[in-house]
Amino acid sequence: MLTGKHLIAGNWVAGDATFKSEPAHGDVHEFAVGTPAHVDTAVKAAEEAFWSFGYSSRAERAALLNAIADEIEARGAEITAIGTSETGLPEARLEGERGRTTGQLRLFASHIEKGDYLDRRHDEALPDRAPLPRPDLRMMQRPIGPVAVFGASNFPLAFSTAGGDTAAALAAGCPVVVKGHSAHPGTGEIVAQAVDAALNKLGMHPGIFSLIQGGKRDVGQSLVQHPLIKAVGFTGSLAGGRALFDLCAQRPEPIPFFGELGSVNPMFLLPEAVKARGEAIAKGWAGSLTMGAGQFCTNPGISVIIDSPEADAFVEAATAALSPVGAQTMLTDGIAQAYRAGRDRVAGVTGIQELLTSTCDLRNATPYLFATTGKEWLDNEILGEEVFGPLGLIVRVSDFDEMMKVARSLHGQLTCTLHLDAGDTAHGRALMPVLERKAGRVLANGFPTGVEVADSMVHGGPYPASTNFGATSVGTLSIRRFLRPVCYQNMPADLLPDDFN
């Protein structure tokens, strides 16, 4: 049952003002507007909770993560009902995302139980070393303190209230204060109820988790500026992420801001692969581009191809595959408007060719397809900006040298993809050092949508794909964002953290 309230350190708190949800279909609900005062209460409780939670055993935290997963599953039908209503995403998609969310929580439980993430090191004392003896040195990763989490509209479960950032922070031993997303406040609340139930069941400190609904931008701003917050996990737009990142950097005590932002995820189509299976690549691209109305940060918006008759066939096949795709509901009215504005921005570039025009209005999206030359791409930086939605751009380069120039001109990306056959190996090898510098994940012969939650996954990349290229927000490595190394010199065993034993 929805209450419309914030969860602040175990208490369900109403506000003086409310805002209304804007569901794609179904009932409108009212939610309390968050304030800086709510933020202050939640963060102070998180800091208090850190003194026990930050020193809890890995087994205790694993039990919490598993219990949250169980409680989310127990509310599965309720979450799907409110989630589909608020976001317009289909049931099957939300059910899949719920599985990913609970799987992620359980993966972190087993990951911390293994203990490798602590990266324990020991340099034994060398008392007889000349000219100076070496002290006994031990190192271990320790949790950093209260963490703020901002989810994105397009993953109301897996990148939201109890999504990857929250799971990683809790696994590390960091209490979490979530700023609820205004596009899915009800979904956020039900998930918060699940976390609250898990904490109650295990008798853990209620300050470990709070959810403050938004409604006004000052909630998020005061959260990242709160002196007791030690890091921020953010998934969302470049504009929003940059604004909050700058606030973090301007604090008297600057803190790390782990922003996962937008990307155009270019694909490089090499000649032999295009010859052998250009049509199949075009069909696969159309599927990946339009999946979920193109509302994925890994959506492959750009295909770079060398001019040839096979390139003409690829263009034709892509247009044919995209033409029958009907209108899909977008996550919010604002995102639908931004999609159309993005389309106008691309269409306004001199010399651009419009291959597929379609009409969409209200909260709907239909695909758009454009083509340009390598030269126009290199002259128009605007073409490299993300259009969030099912918009594709084919960049026809004159030769492989120009393809290399396009690759070198890219800003940071979450992913870059190569489509290649055995005869393309030399070109592939030439591109690899460039793509590796540009992206967090480089794929061969696939499509970047669908991010595996695993030990080797990197979901990040150089700016503007993320604000911190050393980090990932998906997979077990993401726990490193909420840890810092501490060295213990000549420390008696009784004073060392239990994890050394």
Which residues are known catalytic residues? 260, 297
Query: Helix/strand/coil (H, E, C) string of 295-362?
Result: CCCCCCCEEEEECCHHHHHHHHHHHHHHCCCCCEECCCHHHHHHHHHHHHHHHCCCCCEEEECCCCCC
Using alpha carbons, select from 258, 259, 255, 249 the residue that is nearest to residue 229: 255
**Residue ranges in 182-201 that form contacts with ligand NAP under rule CB under 6 A:** 182
User: Among 72, 152, 325, 477, which residue sits at the site for ligand NAP (rule: CB under 6 A)?
Assistant: 152
User: Among 31, 50, 53, 155, which residue sits at the site for ligand NAP (rule: CB under 6 A)?
Assistant: 155
Using rule CB under 6 A, residue 438 touches ligand NAP: no
Using rule CB under 6 A, residue 154 touches ligand NAP: yes
* Contact region with ligand NAP (CB under 6 A), list: 55-63, 105-113, 148-156, 250-258: 148-156
Residue with tokens 């509310």, as numbered in its chain: 75
Say how many residues touch ligand NAP, by CB under 6 A: 29
Query: Rounded to the nearest whole angstrom, what is the least distance from the CB of residue 424 to ligand NAP in the complex?
Result: 29
* Contact region with ligand NAP (CB under 6 A), list: 20-28, 54-62, 178-186, 281-289: 178-186
Using rule CB under 6 A, residue 66 touches ligand NAP: no
Using alpha carbons, select from 399, 392, 299, 301 the residue that is nearest to residue 354: 392
Contact 136, 169 (CB under 8 A): no
Contact 260, 473 (CB under 8 A): yes
* Contact region with ligand NAP (CB under 6 A), list: 90-98, 106-114, 177-185, 392-400: 177-185
The DSSP annotation for 185-217 comes to HHHHHHHHHHHHHHHHHHT--GGGEEEE--SST
Q: Which is nearer to ligand NAP, 221 or 380 (CB)?
A: 221
Using rule CB under 6 A, residue 214 touches ligand NAP: yes
Query: Rounded to the nearest whole angstrom, what is the least distance from the CB of residue 262 to ligand NAP in the complex?
Result: 4
Query: Rounded to the nearest whole angstrom, what is the least distance from the CB of residue 235 to ligand NAP in the complex?
Result: 5
Non-local (6+) Cβ contacts of 467 within 8 A are: 234, 241, 242, 245, 257, 258, 259, 261
Q: Other CB atoms closer than 10 Å to residue 254's CB: what's the count?
A: 10
User: Among 20, 114, 134, 217, which residue sits at the site for ligand NAP (rule: CB under 6 A)?
Assistant: 217
Query: Rounded to the nearest whole angstrom, what is the least distance from the CB of residue 80 to ligand NAP in the complex?
Result: 20
Give the whole-angstrom CA distance, residue 11 versus residue 7. 6
Using rule CB under 6 A, residue 235 touches ligand NAP: yes
Give the whole-angstrom CA distance, residue 414 versus residue 132. 48
User: Among 179, 226, 340, 343, which residue sits at the site for ligand NAP (rule: CB under 6 A)?
Assistant: 179
Query: Rounded to the nearest whole angstrom, what is the least distance from the CB of residue 333 to ligand NAP in the complex?
Result: 12
**Burial tier of 361 (Cβ tally within 10 Å: 0-12, 13-18, 19+):** exposed
Using alpha carbons, select from 335, 336, 301, 294 the residue that is nearest to residue 413: 301
Using rule CB under 6 A, residue 459 touches ligand NAP: yes
Give the whole-angstrom CA distance, residue 194 versus residue 44. 22
Q: Which is nearer to ligand NAP, 41 or 161 (CB)?
A: 161
Give the whole-angstrom CA distance, residue 341 versus residue 72. 37
Q: Which is nearer to ligand NAP, 223 or 356 (CB)?
A: 223
Using alpha carbons, select from 84, 300, 78 the residue that is nearest to residue 191: 78
Q: Other CB atoms closer than 10 Å to residue 475's CB: what's the count?
A: 23
Residue nearest to ligand NAP (CB): 240
Using alpha carbons, select from 180, 255, 166 the residue that is nearest to residue 219: 180
Query: Rounded to the nearest whole angstrom, what is the least distance from the CB of residue 21 to ligand NAP in the complex?
Result: 11
User: Among 145, 186, 262, 278, which residue sits at the site for ligand NAP (rule: CB under 6 A)?
Assistant: 262
Query: Rounded to the nearest whole angstrom, what is the least distance from the CB of residue 159 to ligand NAP in the complex?
Result: 5
Query: Rounded to the nearest whole angstrom, what is the least distance from the CB of residue 89 to ligand NAP in the complex?
Result: 13
Using rule CB under 6 A, residue 53 touches ligand NAP: no
Q: Which is nearer to ligand NAP, 135 or 240 (CB)?
A: 240
Using rule CB under 6 A, residue 243 touches ligand NAP: yes
Using rule CB under 6 A, residue 47 touches ligand NAP: no
Contact 165, 136 (CB under 8 A): no
Q: Which is nearer to ligand NAP, 211 or 420 (CB)?
A: 211
Using rule CB under 6 A, residue 143 touches ligand NAP: no
Which run of H or E residues covers position 73?
A: helix 58-74
Using rule CB under 6 A, residue 181 touches ligand NAP: yes
Within 13 Å of residue 328, how many CA atoms lie on the same side as its CB? Answer: 23
Using rule CB under 6 A, residue 419 touches ligand NAP: no
Contact 473, 466 (CB under 8 A): yes
Query: Rounded to the nearest whole angstrom, what is the least distance from the CB of residue 180 to ligand NAP in the complex?
Result: 7
Using rule CB under 6 A, residue 330 touches ligand NAP: no
* Contact region with ligand NAP (CB under 6 A), list: 40-48, 50-58, 255-263, 281-289: 255-263
What residue ranges bind ligand NAP (CB under 6 A)? 150, 152-155, 159, 179, 181-182, 214, 217, 220-221, 235-237, 240, 243-244, 260-262, 297, 335, 386, 388, 414, 459, 473
